[in-house]
């Protein structure tokens, strides 16, 4: 995923509202919360146009970024090889002279090289069974993945995301929207808080009157720093006290995004969102990632994904996928079209046995949500 600051570049390079990043302010939002009734039918073509424009500009920025990195790496590698060649020649000449003077000659060079190879391989002696299992590149890669933790294998590692569920009292929804709508944008806009707000949504189908917020931090260090900074704000006690009178419950999980599905930068496509949550049987997360990496390529041809995360602290073995559609009819159509894309049927066939339970909820973005 490109850093959030790229969103500003996306916005500045695109005159339309497709990639508009709403400026954060302390202005209070209208009390009326967004609802499904706000969606106008037969407006899917507007959503499609915004989607295509967003994808095109996002792809252009990614391509330019990779080209700049390639040129920079090529220059660095060229300079490094030149310095290494000069240093190696000098070092080898000095070592050869020393060994010759000691009467050890090239034999010690060969022995040293053999020792270095043994050290590089970890000094492990491989028996017939080990050679049979790990003799192929696939086997060696499996060995390496087993030695790494799930978070290293599955996640991109740079970001930690939190998902916050607020179950709001039905008669307090308008007060909640006013309170949170004035507080969250302010906190996200303060650089010292070291946090980005991915988005805020209200559930319309599913756990009604439940609001969902996703935040992004720079690893766990950033998470700690953000909590400390926000809760040290002089107005936080008042906000927290008021919030507790408006909600029935609060649930927080810390997640990491899958390496194959970077979280979307801010965008304004409109429409509705679907949060699909899967509870997997323990031990199946790695297999889930393997199949979905292929399945997402098929799904992206007909559907717009926002992000995918797996929980590391909180409800373990839970995976969240967030999708965006023009409306519910468009959702039905897109999901049916997925079955005609090669690879999607196999993904479903492989992943369904891994699921213990699942749920879906339809959500509307809040006015201050960067992804909307």
- Here the contacts of 62-70 (C-beta below 8 Å, separation 24 or greater) are 62/2, 65/2
Is 334:325 a contact under the CB 8 Å cutoff?
A: yes
Whether the full predicted model's pTM is greater than 0.85, yes or no, is no
pLDDT per residue as tens digits for the range 44-69? 666 667 666 766 776 777 678 777 87
Residue 24 has pLDDT above 50, yes or no: no
Q: What is the torsional sign of CA 12, 223, 287, 135?
A: positive
Residue percentage of the chain with pLDDT more than 90: 48
Neighbour tally for 151: CB within 10 Å: 12
Higher pLDDT, 153 or 284: 284
**CB within 8 Å of 366: residues ≥ 6 apart:** 29, 33, 34, 177, 180, 181, 199, 200, 201, 202, 211, 372
DSSP 267: B
pLDDT per residue as tens digits for the range 159-174? 999 999 999 999 999 9
Is 169:247 a contact under the CB 8 Å cutoff?
A: yes
Structural domains in the chain, CATH included, are 74-149 (no CATH), 156-365 (3.30.70.100)
Residue 90 has pLDDT above 60, yes or no: no
pLDDT per residue as tens digits for the range 328-346? 999 999 999 888 888 888 9
Average pLDDT value for residue range 231-241:
96
3-state secondary structure of 345: helix
Instruction: End-to-end CA distance of the chain: give it in Å, rounded.
Output: 18
Residue 215 has pLDDT above 80, yes or no: yes
């Amino acid at each position: 995923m490109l850093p959030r600051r790229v969103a500003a570049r996306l916005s500045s390079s695109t005159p339309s509202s497709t990639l508009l990043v709403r400026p954060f302010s302390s202005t209070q939002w209208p009390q009326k919360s967004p609802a499904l009734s706000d969606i106008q039918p037969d407006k899917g073509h507007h959503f499609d146009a915004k989607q295509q424009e967003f994808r095109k500009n996002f792809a252009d920025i990614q391509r330019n970024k990779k080209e700049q990195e390639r040129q920079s790496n090529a220059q660095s590698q060229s300079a490094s090889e030149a310095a290494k060649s000069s240093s190696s020649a000098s070092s080898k000449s000095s070592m050869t002279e020393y060994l010759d003077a000691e009467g050890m000659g090239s034999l010690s060079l060969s022995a040293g090289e053999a020792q270095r190879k043994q050290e590089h391989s970890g000094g492990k002696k491989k028996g017939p069974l080990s050679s049979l299992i790990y003799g192929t590149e696939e086997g060696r890669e499996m060995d390496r993945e087993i030695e790494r933790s799930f978070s290293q294998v599955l996640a991109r590692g740079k970001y930690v995301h939190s998902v916050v569920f607020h179950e709001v009292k039905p008669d307090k929804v308008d007060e909640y929207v006013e309170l949170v709508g004035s507080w969250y944008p302010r906190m996200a806009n303060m650089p010292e808080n070291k946090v980005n707000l991915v988005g805020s949504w209200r559930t319309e189908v599913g756990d009604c009157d439940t609001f969902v917020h996703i935040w992004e931090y720079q690893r766990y260090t950033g998470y700690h720093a953000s909590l400390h900074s926000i809760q040290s704000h002089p107005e936080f006690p008042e906000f927290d006290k008021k919030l507790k009178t408006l909600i029935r419950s609060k649930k927080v999980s810390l997640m990491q995004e899958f390496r194959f599905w970077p979280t979307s930068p801010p965008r304004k496509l409109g429409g509705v969102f679907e949060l699909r949550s899967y509870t997997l049987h323990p031990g199946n997360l790695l297999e889930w990632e393997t199949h979905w990496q292929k399945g997402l390529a098929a799904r992206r041809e007909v559907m717009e994904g926002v992000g995918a995360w797996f929980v590391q602290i909180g409800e373990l073995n839970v995976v969240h996928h967030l999708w965006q559609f023009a409306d519910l009819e468009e959702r039905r159509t897109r999901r049916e079209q997925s079955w005609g894309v090669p690879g999607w049927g196999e993904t479903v066939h492989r992943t369904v046995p891994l699921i213990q339970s699942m749920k879906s909820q339809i959500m509307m973005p809040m006015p201050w949500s960067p992804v909307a």
